[in-house]
Structure formats: C-alpha cells, structure tokens
Amino acid sequence: MNRIRIFSFLVMTLLLSLNFVGCSKVQIVLPNEANLESIVLSKSTDKNNTLITINGNKEFKNIIHSIKSNSKKTNKESINDIPTNVDYYIKLEFLHAKGESSVAYLYKTKDKCYIEQPYSGIWEITQESYDNIDILIKDK
C-alpha cells in the first residue's frame, strides 16, 4: 500500500512538472512575413486615430523575429477582444495577402511587457522588443 502511494505521488509530481515546463515553450503564432501585405500599428490612447502602416519584408521580419525570439508563454488567459486593466496598448494588425487579418496587442504592466493574441494567449516579451515597436508609433 505504501509503494502505491509513493508511486502515485511520483507520477503526479512528474506530470505537474511537465505541465509547467511545457507552458513556457509554447511559441506565439505570428504570420509568415512572406504572406503579409502590411502591419498597421495604432495606439489605444490616440483619439485622432493615427495609424502607422509598415510595408516591406525587412520590417515585417524584424518585428516578427523580435517578438517570436523574445516571448515566453505565461499562465494568463486571454478572454477578451482587447486587453483589459491596462492604460495604454499598441494594436498590431497583420494584413495578410489573401485579404485576411489577425491582431495582437502589446502592453506594459508595472514591470513587465506582454503581447496578447485575443483568445489565444498572453506572452511576456522583453523590454527591448516592446521598445522597438513602441518607438515606431511614438515617433509619429
């Protein structure tokens, strides 16, 4: 009886540890730059609705690579169309060559930066990745 308890405890510990390890390995799914027409950036606080349109494979590649290589999946869920409880966010709208689009949002909390894909997940990103995109829209 004691062996069964020990074995059960070990199996549960293994499964829980695999779950936590696997969570951070889930990569954000962003479009392939070859399939994009443009990326449109907009600020949540902009009442004038200023849009920055980015065209060109080099720029697409820089943005997408920066996010993919510097993001880490969190345990937070995305359950809304837009981020909640944040004062400022940047909307990234990916316009695909086939007429489709997808959206992601960048935002900061007190000490961390995130990218959120509605209903798919929330990933933590580096301050540098956040700043590289934020500067594109703040310059305008």
User: pLDDT, tens digit, for every residue of 41-66?
Assistant: 998 876 666 788 988 878 888 899 99
Kindly report, residue by residue over 4-39, the tens digit of the pLDDT: 766 565 556 666 655 555 445 678 889 888 888 999
The alpha-carbon radius of gyration of the chain (Å, integer) is 19
> What pLDDT does 22 receive?
46
What is the spatial distance between Cα 54 and Cα 51, in angstroms, rounded to a whole number? Answer: 10
Q: What is the average pLDDT score of the chain?
A: 84
pLDDT at site 23 = 47
State the pLDDT at residue 20. 52
Beta sheet of 71-73, edge-to-edge order: 51-54, 36-43, 89-96, 101-108, 113-117, 121-125, 71-73
- pTM for the whole structure: 0.78
In tens, the pLDDT along 61-74 reads: 889 999 999 999 99
CB atoms within 10 A of CB 17: 10
Q: Which domains does the chain have, with CATH numbers?
A: 28-138 (2.60.40.4250)
Q: What is the pLDDT of residue 139?
A: 63
